[in-house]
Structures are given as C-alpha cells and as structure tokens.
Amino acid sequence: MALPAQLKPIQHYLRTAQEHEDRDPVVAYYCRLYAMQTGMKLDSKTPECRKFLIKLMDQLESMKKEMSDHDSISQEVVGNAHIENYALKMFLYADNEDRGGRFHKNMIKSFYTSSLLLDVLSVFGELSEENIQHRKYARWKATYIHNCLKNGETPQAGPMAMDEDGEADEFGAAGFSGPSQGGSFRGAPPSQSYDDQDKSSDPGPAPGIGFTPSPGPSGPPTSNYNNIHIPPGAHAPANTPAELPPPAGGVHLTPEDFTKAQKLCKYAGSALQYEDVGTAIQNLQKALKLLMSGKE
C-alpha cells in the first residue's frame, strides 16, 4: 500500500524498518512503532491515512506475537537499550570513518540511520540531552558530507562547527534507499560496496551507552562538537569506588530507581561482550551509587 502524502515524514523510518526486517527484527519493530505513533499525530482521520495506519497497526501486532519471547519486545528497558546500543554503534562507526577522512555512502548512511534510530528512542520516553546532541550532529554530518561529495568537494574530517541551517528533517532519499550497515564497534569497516549491503549480515548491537568519549582520531566525537553545548558532567567519568557514599539503610528506592539500575547493569553487560572494561566499570559504579544513595 502506497504511503499517503500526508504521512511522508515517516517514510524513512518505514524504510529503515524494511531494511532491518531480517537483519534485526527488533529494530524493524520499533521503527514501525515510532512511524505509527508519529503518523497518528500527523493525520489519523483522512480515509487513506487511516487505512494505512490500521494496516501498520496490524503488522505491529503480528510482529509482537511472533517475537513475544524476545526480551527486547516484552521488556521496555531491554528494548530501549537494544535500540540505543544499535544507534550508537552506527554513530561510532560513521564518526570513526569521518575522523579518518574516509568519506563514502555507507558512512553517510550510517550517520543518518543513527539519527533516525535516536528519534525512535522517543517511544520509550524523553531523549537524554546527550542523545539529542548525537542525533543533531549525526543528521547534520550526513547532510554536510553528502552535499560535499555531490558537489565534488572534499568534506572537512572530524568534529567541526555546524551550520544551523544544515540539519535536514528529511534526508535526500534518492541516494539512500539501500539497507544500512553499521560495521562492527571494534572491527574493520565493511568491505562490501554500498549496493551490496543487503547481502551482508549485521554483527549485532555494540556497546556505547554511557561511554566516556576518549580523545584521539579513533574515539567518538568530542563532548561539544565545537559549538554544541552539552551540560557539564554529561560525559564525566563515574565516581570511583572510594567516592561512593556509604550504605544507608534508610534509602528509599522508587520503581524508577530499580529500572535505571537494571538498565545500567545491562549496559555494563553489553560492554563486557566487547571487552570494553572501562564502560562496564563506569556503568556498574553508577548503578551501585544509585542503589546505595538513591541518587544518580
């Protein structure tokens, strides 16, 4: 069924869902969920839009039943971590290519898809300030590099001052209809051509949530991207064990506190899968501090 013109803003999320149908059904599910929720706000009354959205709802219900045994579908915290990990994996791959001066369609696609997936995170609640900045930077970088290559210019590598008008709500779809491939978190970038990406298999989500960016050409972007302000402490290392508050028997923990602690522990476990000890320790320390003091 063709997408009604009124719902054009959700086309890239639906395309991303289709691209991940086999590679990562969880990503496909949440992209469609975000598209459905956004579409309802855009136009749920026009007959063609209503018909399209009802069909999308049916598809979501079917996917939910098929994946009922997936923790990422049945548990919101796990689903949130899955999408966030995946989005930042793509972001870090693209940023690494950018800093190395390796400009190509696959890295542009990775930047842009990561920005779309950070949009999708809003189905779980309000985005963190850090993810808002990552989304803005990724979308702007994708647009900037795409336009440079299109005009035969050499893009400037690495973090740089952003043109406030450079961020695009809708990226040029013509050159970006192929599936995305984020590359691995630590391994070499994909060797396949952009048009052959649908024949490759994705290595799965990588860690990156709660990471503390390190300087250098291979690390994630600097904390402020030159002119984007990130609140103090957003990238600050967690307290060391010596700085943790002593256990307090009278600490009252809310259900939200327990959810946050579970999320931090999951991030730590994800980091350990990639032997990222530093990120694992930081997230475990944050969880411990929260449980001991009731404060993040």
pLDDT, one tens digit per residue, over 181-197 is 333 222 222 222 223 33
Question: Which DSSP letter does residue 257 get?
Answer: H
Fold (CATH) for 7-73 = 1.25.40
Dihedral sign for Cα atoms in the order 185, 189, 195, 196: negative
Domain borders along the chain are: 7-73, 77-155, 244-293
Higher pLDDT, 130 or 204: 130
pLDDT mean across residues, the chain: 74
> Please, where are the H alpha helices in 20-128?
25-42, 47-66, 71-74, 76-99, 105-120
The CA angle 41-47-49, to the nearest 5 degrees, is: 40
Could you please report the per-residue DSSP string of 11-41?
HHHHHHHHHTTTT-HHHHHHHHHHHHHHHHH
What confidence tens digit (pLDDT) does each residue in 213-257 have? 322 233 333 333 333 332 333 332 333 333 434 444 567 888 888
Is 7-73's fold the same as 77-155's? yes
Q: Please identify, in words, the CATH class of the domain defined by 77-155.
A: mainly alpha
CB 204 within 8 A of CB 134: no
Write down the architecture of domain 244-293 according to CATH: Up-down Bundle (1.20)
pLDDT in tens, 20-68: 999 999 999 999 999 999 999 999 999 999 999 999 999 999 999 999 9
Residue at token pair 């256990």: 247
> Residue 150 belongs to what H/E stretch?
helix 129-150
Is the distance from CB of 72 to CB of 82 less than 8 angstroms? yes
Residue, of 4 and 249, whose pLDDT is higher = 4
Distance CA 127, CA 138 (A): 15
Distance from C-alpha of 18 to C-alpha of 225, rounded to nearest angstrom: 32
